[in-house]
Amino acid sequence: AQSVTQPDIHITVSEGASLELRCNYSYGATPYLFWYVQSPGQGLQLLLKYFSGDTLVQGIKGFEAEFKRSQSSFNLRKPSVHWSDAAEYFCAVSDRTDKLIFGTGTRLQVFP
């Protein structure tokens, strides 16, 4: 069965610092992978997605993620965090049937 693990429940960084949020997945074949962001009181917004091809994926708001098959990982990165990036981040995997399996999320706090 598919599953997603986000090992970090809560991460705190200073504004301007780099960020990496970890995501590990379990799936038999090459999955579809997604990162979503959820601000307080808001729905989820898609940051980026990986289906195939180049393993380094660029998304919105300056985020990128790298698919590493050997590590079953799809970590999200940003070189310089802004205070507005404070939110909950969810990694998700799909088996190509439109069914998304989400991780438990990582809450990002940004200090000025």
Partner 1 sequence: EAGVVQSPRYKIIEKKQPVAFWCNPISGHNTLYWYLQNLGQGPELLIRYENEEAVDDSQLPKDRFSAERLKGVDSTLKIQPAELGDSAVYLCASSPAGGDEQYFGPGTRLTVT
Answer for which of 27, 49, 64, 66 binds partner 1 (CB under 8 A) is 49
Name the token pair of 44. 């989820």
How far apart are CB 58 and partner 1 at their closest, in Å? 15
44 near partner 1 (CB under 8 A): yes
| Of the candidate residues 16, 83, 99, 111, the single one contacting partner 1 (CB under 8 A) | 99
Q: Which of 23, 33, 92, 108 binds partner 1 (CB under 8 A)?
A: 92
- The CA distance from 2 to 26, in Å, is 5
Rounded to a whole number of angstroms, the minimum distance from the CB of residue 94 to partner 1 is: 8
Residue 53 and residue 1: Cα distance in Å, rounded? 24
**DSSP assignment letter at 40:** T
What is the C-alpha separation between 88 and 39, in angstroms, rounded? 6
